[in-house]
């Protein structure tokens, strides 16, 4: 069942079969990992053709381990020179590369079974909301005057409106005349967002306050 299509050597038929499977699995990978997420068009296109590209490379080097290390190094360089991706994007890329390697060695059935196991498991976890605790977290950025002591200045409000809060970063802005304080908070009640924003606005002298959800697609 899991025998390699290349056991008798590379032929035009085995090459076309592996390439067709690579393209289909690449397309399905892009569709699966785009479920409940927003990827750029270029990333989806890349994900769709990546297994076929890796497959051809592996076929050309006849499954050599040394060449496989070289391929991994090439992808590392590409990754290093690009913008950091989300954890989901990285997982999708690794899956596409793994499928390409398997198909490059002729294991079409194995690649298909592995794809089904991983993607079904991924979709199941997505549907049940696994790891969704960060959905309730909010990124809060408050600007205060330089003269205000930021240590514990909002602790009473956080105690009233949040279940947890942590100070993430403090930086100066506007030529050092203002502080921007960044917190991660979890509200007791999402409907109280306006109330705490009004309280904070009164406390910081009506300077800028920005509050948004912490991304569930944070980079590794």
Tell whether 18 and 96 lie within a shared domain: yes
Tell whether 79 and 27 lie within a shared domain: yes
Tell whether 95 and 27 lie within a shared domain: yes
Strand partners, 181: 142, 170
Percent of the chain with pLDDT over 70: 84
Tell whether 116 and 149 lie within a shared domain: no
Tell whether 117 and 141 lie within a shared domain: no
* Separation between Cα atoms, residue 73 and residue 51, nearest integer Å: 17
Tell whether 83 and 109 lie within a shared domain: yes
Average pLDDT over residues 197-217: 83
Residue 23 lies in a domain: yes
> Residue 183's pLDDT band (boundaries 50, 70, 90)?
very high
Residue 55 lies in a domain: yes
DSSP classification of residue 82:
S
User: Domains in the chain: how many in total?
Assistant: 2
Residue 29 lies in a domain: yes
> Residue 20's pLDDT band (boundaries 50, 70, 90)?
very high
For 163, phi and psi rounded to 5 degrees? -90, -25
Average pLDDT over residues 153-169: 90
Q: Which helix (H) or strand (E) holds 102?
A: helix 87-104
Predicted TM-score of the model (pTM):
0.61
- Triad 70, 49, 74: Cα angle to 5°: 15
* Separation between Cα atoms, residue 10 and residue 3, nearest integer Å: 14
Residue 71 lies in a domain: yes
Of the three residues 127, 154, 171, the one that is the final residue of a domain is 127
Instruction: Please write the tens of the pLDDT for every residue from 193-205.
Output: 899 999 999 999 8
Tell whether 34 and 106 lie within a shared domain: yes
Residue 86 lies in a domain: yes
Residue 81 lies in a domain: yes
Residue 153 sits in a domain whose CATH number is: 3.30.70.380
For residue 155, the enclosing domain spans 133-213
Residue 6 lies in a domain: no
Tell whether 98 and 17 lie within a shared domain: yes
Tell whether 22 and 108 lie within a shared domain: yes
Mean pLDDT (the chain, rounded): 83
* Separation between Cα atoms, residue 173 and residue 196, nearest integer Å: 23
Tell whether 142 and 50 lie within a shared domain: no
Instruction: Please write the tens of the pLDDT for every residue from 55-114.
Output: 888 888 775 656 665 665 656 555 544 555 577 888 898 999 899 989 988 899 999 999
Give the pLDDT confidence score for residue 65 in this predicted structure: 57
Tell whether 104 and 186 lie within a shared domain: no
Of the three residues 127, 159, 174, the one that is the final residue of a domain is 127
């Amino acid at each position: 069942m899991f025998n390699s299509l290349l056991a008798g050597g590379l032929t035009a038929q085995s090459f076309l079969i592996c390439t067709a499977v690579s393209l289909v699995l690449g397309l399905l990978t892009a569709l699966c990992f785009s479920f409940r997420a927003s990827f750029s068009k270029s990333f989806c296109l890349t994900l769709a053709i990546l297994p076929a590209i890796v497959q051809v490379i592996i076929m050309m080097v006849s499954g050599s381990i040394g060449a496989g290390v070289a391929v991994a190094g090439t992808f590392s360089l590409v990754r290093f020179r690009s913008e950091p991706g989300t954890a989901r994007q990285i997982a999708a890329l690794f899956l596409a590369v793994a499928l390409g390697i398997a198909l490059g060695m002729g294991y079409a059935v194995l690649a298909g079974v592995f794809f089904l196991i991983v993607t079904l498991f991924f979709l199941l976890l997505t549907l049940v909301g696994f790891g969704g605790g960060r959905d309730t977290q909010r990124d809060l950025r408050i600007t205060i005057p330089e003269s205000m002591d930021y240590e514990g200045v909002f602790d009473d409000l956080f105690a009233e409106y949040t279940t947890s809060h942590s100070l993430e970063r403090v930086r100066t802005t506007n030529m050092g005349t203002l502080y921007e304080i960044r917190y991660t908070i979890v509200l007791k009640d999402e409907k109280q967002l306006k109330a705490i924003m009004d309280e904070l606005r009164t406390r910081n002298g009506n300077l800028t306050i920005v509050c948004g959800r912490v991304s569930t697609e944070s980079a590794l």
